[in-house]
Amino acid sequence: MKFICIILCLVASLTVTSAELISNPGFETGDLTDWSSFGMGWRTGTGADAFSGTYGLVCDILDSDVGENWRGVYQNVSVTEGLTYNAGVYIRAVSVNDSASWFELQWLDSGGGVISQLQSASVTSDQAFTYMGLGTIVAPAGATDASVRGIVNMVTLPTPGDSDFHIFDDFTMTVIPEPGSMALLSIGALALVLRRRQRK
């Protein structure tokens, strides 16, 4: 009976386990290790700038940032066409008046070309850390990589003395286990149980 319980627990854990594909998803290295960025204003912060752990990633929108309308951080991860994924990030916004931010995902082909692009709802006003995600998504035909991105758009230059702050933490890009694979694991576990019973 104990053996059966162990097998069932193992199968149950496999059905809910998904592999995180992002490296340094919460910037706990204290910097942008494994990430690339464009545009100015990126830095890591602590305290209220972290949703979990010690660090979060902040984009400062200053009144001196002339011509820096688009900023972003991104990390490319390998994917498999046809598999289902879950992706998103926690975003906090402070003193936001002149900018917006969102989570974005680009499906890429083997040559780095963009097959298609998805994005979450935009953050256009102050909010506490809120998960901005895409729900379950399926990698399209030809996709070999996904570019996981946090985007900030300065719509207009902040008024003198004003600043906007967009904070990102705990990016995620996970593979959702296929039901067929889980069924096979369950059948295999059941076969092991029956075989053990027959030996007794």
Taking only the tens place, the pLDDT of each residue in 123-148 is 999 999 999 999 999 999 999 999 99
> Average pLDDT of the chain?
86
The one-character DSSP state at 66 is T
End-to-end Cα spacing for the chain? 12
Domain boundaries, the chain: 1-17+177-200, 20-176
Whether 23 contacts 64, CB under 8 Å: no
Enter the tokens of residue 92.
């906090």
Measure the CA–CA gap between 49 and 179, rounded to whole angstroms. 38
Among the four given CATH numbers 3.90.245.10, 3.40.50.261, 2.40.30.10, 2.60.120.260, the one describing domain 20-176: 2.60.120.260
Helices (H), the chain: 2-16, 179-199
pTM score, whole prediction: 0.82
The predicted pLDDT at position 196 comes to: 55
The full length of the chain comes to 200
